[in-house]
Amino acid sequence: RLRDAAPAGWEVCIISADTVSDGDGGAAPHDEVLAAVASAEAYVGFGLSRDLFLAAPGLRWVHSAAAGVRSLLFPEMRASTVILTNSAGVHAEPMAETVLGGVLYLLRGLDLARARQRERRWDRAAFVGAETPMREVRDCRALIIGAGGIGSAIARRLTALGAACVGVRRHPERGVPHGFARVVGPDAWEALLPESDLLILSAPATAETQALVGRAALERLPGRAIVVNVARGSLLDETALAELIAAGRLRGAVLDVFETEPLPAESPLWGLSSVVITPHVSAVSPRGFWERELELIIDNWHRYVGGAPMRNVVDKEAGY
């Protein structure tokens, strides 16, 4: 499809060497990539390392198949006129389904059911009575930090099941994306924590979001709250989260990203049955990803050649 879609006069060089798609990408480049990029005008891949950027003096457009671009914003990239685009929104659908699955798992007490199943024990006591953890989505209020493509996809699903969703975005004046009841700015979300049953992180990793949700914020959540992180591990205090869950102060968590990846074996999160851990794979959807990614690449390629505004252009100063 890429070769067939190439504008007139363009040569497409497809690298055969393996690449690394984890996180923002940008692993040390293979010699094959270094040789090919030396004369390239456009680069498409999973991230881009500084060494690769410096080896390509003719680059005018870089596209990353990852949504996060923090590792690409080295000084030379920031100072350049190279157009940087990312894949924000491409991963939204499978990530939103992962979030929904994890939230339902905890709301319906399936973590308790699995524990009793392993013990071959029929025990209804934990599921009934005044202290039951069993809840319906329609009884939940969700605070979603990051109201972009991923956050909106999550909100649409939760709203369809009856939840009330409030989004947090940098520029709330730009409107309320579909799925949200309302949006607030970065200065207003902490006041909403005491009434938030679900705290969901889907914002990009930037200087402003570094350590955004710390112990003080987590302690303001109600005891029944579930914390979800499909953004980046740098946004969340994992130590405080683990301690509060272990103490019964929070219901649980759904975590796909971590401060250190792979998550160290000694992390207390591994031992908490009410924490759902996935190894940074919430976006995985082989067919869906490539359908959406190829459409974005090809459309942007023709926009670039035609001088039209491109999609998913990264604000290098904002970081996304």
Please give the Cα distance from 296 to 85 (Å, whole number): 10
Please give the Cα distance from 218 to 280 (Å, whole number): 22
303 sits in the region (left: phi over 0; alpha: psi -120 to 50; else beta) called alpha
Please give the Cα distance from 244 to 8 (Å, whole number): 59
How many other β-carbons are positioned within 10 Å of the β-carbon of residue 17? Answer: 10
Q: Which of 208, 261, 291, 295 is catalytic?
A: 261
Q: How far is CA 101 from CA 46, 98, 120, 278, in A?
A: 27, 5, 24, 12
Q: Is 280 a catalytic residue?
A: yes
Task: Provide the β-strand partners of residue 166.
Answer: 143, 182
Q: Which of 63, 232, 238, 251 is catalytic?
A: 232
Rounded-to-10 torsion of CA 303, 307, 312, 318? 170
Q: Which of 157, 169, 251, 280 is catalytic?
A: 280
DSSP 8-state assignment for residue 242: H
Q: How far is CA 192 from CA 89, 168, 238, in A?
A: 26, 11, 21
Do 215 and 249 meet the contact criterion of CB atoms below 8 Å apart?
Answer: no
Using CA of residue 75, residue 78, residue 79, residue 80, what is the dihedral sign? positive
Q: How far is CA 256 from CA 216, 233, 262, 275, 280, in A?
A: 22, 9, 11, 10, 5
248 sits in the region (left: phi over 0; alpha: psi -120 to 50; else beta) called left
DSSP 8-state assignment for residue 309: P
| Residues noted as catalytic | 232, 261, 280
